[in-house]
Amino acid sequence: MEGLKLRELDNSIVEEIFSSRGRVRTLRALIKLEEANISRIVRETGMHHKLVESHLEKLEELGIVLEKKYSRVRLFKLNYTNPKTHLIKELIQLLED
């Protein structure tokens, strides 16, 4: 696992993210889509709107996701200014290969 230093990830963040299948599905959707609104993420994950919204809020709290608002439209994307985001993305991609 080249460049991946799991000990750099805070244990509480690891538990918060990977203890929820829905949160991992939401992350996978954002990795694939790069930037999307909630409706697009709902279609990609097959989860209920409120559930996706709550996962996005939690990921935003953790600093993994950023939200941009354009009037009534809310767009979400991964927060690449956070080095932990790169590690999480790499881990998910490695596990899926």
Q: What is the CATH number of the domain that holds 24?
A: 1.10.10.10
- Give domain status of residue 1, yes or no: no
Q: What is the mean pLDDT of residues 84-90?
A: 93
Domain carrying residue 40: 6-88
Give per-residue pLDDT as tens, 62-84. 999 999 999 999 999 999 999 99
Q: What is the distance, to the nearest Å, from the Cα of residue 31 to the centroid of all Cα atoms in its chain?
A: 7
Model pTM? 0.84
Answer whether residue 57 is part of any domain: yes
Longest dimension (CA), the chain: 42
Is 90 exceeded by the pLDDT of residue 12?
no
Asked if the structure places residue 39 within a domain, the reply is: yes
Mean pLDDT of the chain, nearest integer: 89
> Could you give the number of structural domains in the chain?
1
Residue 43: inside a domain: yes
**Could you tell me if residue 96 is inside a domain?**
no
Is residue 93 assigned to a domain? no
pLDDT digits (tens, 9 = 90+) for 17-50: 888 999 999 999 999 999 999 999 999 999 999 9
Rounded distance, CA 69 to CA 64, Å? 17
How much of the chain is helix, strand and coil, in % rounded to 5? 60, 15, 25
Here the tokens at position 36 are: 């999307």
